[in-house]
Amino acid sequence: MLRLFSSPRWDLPVYWALDLETGGLDVRHDPIIAVGMVPVRNGVIQLGESFDTLVRPDPGRAIRPESVRAHQLLAGDLRKSPPLAAVLQEVDRRLEGGVLLVHNRGIDIPFLKGGHARSGLPWKKPRVVDTVDLIVKAASRRRFLRPEGETMPSLNLSEARRVNGLPDYQAHDALVDAIATAELFLVLRHVIGAKTLRDLR
């Protein structure tokens, strides 16, 4: 019998780890210029199903010089890339029925929602799991066990990976960061002892 407010076992949904590279941090004016996605099925990262593309910016949306220092992408690198609407359709197709997995929803979700609105595509409000939330949950758990020794955790992806025993990867590549997020997710899921999807949200 299905219990009221029941939640599926954590490893039943397909999680799509996603990372965006953008031309700046202003969702109103700056473009999405790269998307990387990789699925986690049955608790296993499926690299063979990854999706990785550059994105041709909409006219009038320039790449800020300070963002180039991070991702090393110039306007000329993107000229022959698919437009945002086509890329977002690929993102949506993969997310259908799955869970969107991100590191810091405060950046990725507004850019995705804004991109959908500009492209005339509906935002389908996927379920979201954020590794930043899981970092905070893991720290709360450690603070409960060792109240005298726990400090505020770093929410930076690279630093959070180091704290959890994961190797350093080159940052600011959309697919690499998506894989880094998926790996961190699996470690943090174990740390907090999540058994259901609800435990991860």
For 124, which DSSP code?
A: -
* 9 belongs to a structural domain: no
* 4 belongs to a structural domain: no
* 7 belongs to a structural domain: no
Distance CA 182, CA 180 (A): 6
Q: Which domain holds residue 38?
A: 15-200
For 42, which DSSP code?
A: T
CATH number (domain holding residue 79): 3.30.420.10
* 5 belongs to a structural domain: no
* 3 belongs to a structural domain: no
pTM of the model: 0.92
* 187 belongs to a structural domain: yes
Residues in the chain where the model's pLDDT stays below 50? 1-4
Distance CA 57, CA 60 (A): 8
The predicted structure's pLDDT at residue 2: 44
For 186, which DSSP code?
A: H
Q: What is the H or E stretch that residue 139 is in?
A: helix 131-145
What pLDDT, in 10s, does the model give residues 147-187? 555 567 899 999 999 999 999 998 889 999 999 999 999 99
The predicted structure's pLDDT at residue 5: 62
Q: How many domains does the chain have?
A: 1
